[in-house]
Amino acid sequence: MTTQLQLDSHGSVPSHALDVLQDDALLPICKACGTQYSAPTPTCPICEDPRQFVPASGQAWTNLAELGPSRTVSIVRDDEDVRISSINVDPPVGINQTPFILETAGGSYIWDCAATINPALVGYLLGLKQPLKAIAISHPHFFASSLTWSRALRVPLYLCEADNRWFQRLSDIRPEDKVEWWSGEAILGQGVKVVQCGGHFPGSCILYWDRLQEPPPAELPTKPVPVSGIIFTADTIMVQPTQTKFTFIWSAPNMIPLDPRAVLKILKVVDHLPFAQATSTWPNRFVREDAKKVLQDSVRAHLAACGWAAEGDQLVPLEGSVQEGVLAGAD
């Protein structure tokens, strides 16, 4: 049974965190995508990009002051591994970004971000048994209010350098802010790292947790504790609703698939990682068994649907495909 904790009180919250929430309370947040801006703006570049969309009703805005009393935030623990929780906001904001909390022996980490943050959530996160070490963001659609989160929680914010221009609070970053720009791979802590895959965005990344590096529990658990590696994939590698396969998209709302070359590159980047489980940054999107083989099979299926097959690092057209005909006509 899933354990859900409603955050309706916050106890003691440091004054610095309350000051941050107060300072950022009126910063505009796009209602469509949940991105927070440094100042009022007539348009949202994230929504105007073809990977997202501007609603037919037009651009609309909110802020933390409005969201605070109108949203319920809850913590939902994973059925299988209680060290993994999701932060759920009801009713959803933007594209329903659902951050994860990973509680490892060496510290806790937040994967991805939501637009909403309030004193109750700050109090909960600062009260975790293992202190928070970092926030890491998968790609620009999850930048949300991440600078506010980082300041309120006083933890580093890891953002991939390749997506620097999409961070809408870039001009707000102060010398004392703990914003870490990285490329390729970045180690967050023992057994925890982020890996740049590209695809959906140039800086799209996954978070990898090697649970084999976790020490044995001090007390005998009531059920087995997963020890396999797990990847947190967000939109880079999306778990299908069946939870038995993956899919690869360039734009989810506009239904544009990811270029086969980018898909093959993603597989090459993650293929060296030992993992058996995976989850997207959406509620109830887990592949619980043989996730690496499922990923390999899903890549082959995606390539075939686009008329291609992989031979090593190269794409070759499938016999009878449109691609084969085009290449034959070019000879």
Domains and CATH numbers, the chain: 3-305 (3.60.15.10)
Compute and round to an integer the Cα radius of gyration of the chain. Answer: 20
Examine the pLDDT at 165 and tell me if it is beyond 80.
yes
User: 146-155 pLDDT, tens per residue?
Assistant: 999 999 999 9
List pLDDT tens digits, range 225-265. 899 999 999 999 999 999 999 999 999 999 999 999 999 99
Cα angle 188, 190, 191; round to 5: 90
Across the beta sheet with 179-182, the strand order is 3-6, 72-77, 84-90, 100-104, 107-111, 132-136, 157-160, 179-182
What is the reported pTM? Answer: 0.94
Between residues 5 and 14, the one the model is more confident about: 14
Predicted confidence at residue 281, as pLDDT, reads: 78
* Confidence grade of residue 116 (pLDDT, cut at 50, 70, 90): very high
- State the CB neighbour count (10 A cutoff) for residue 92: 16
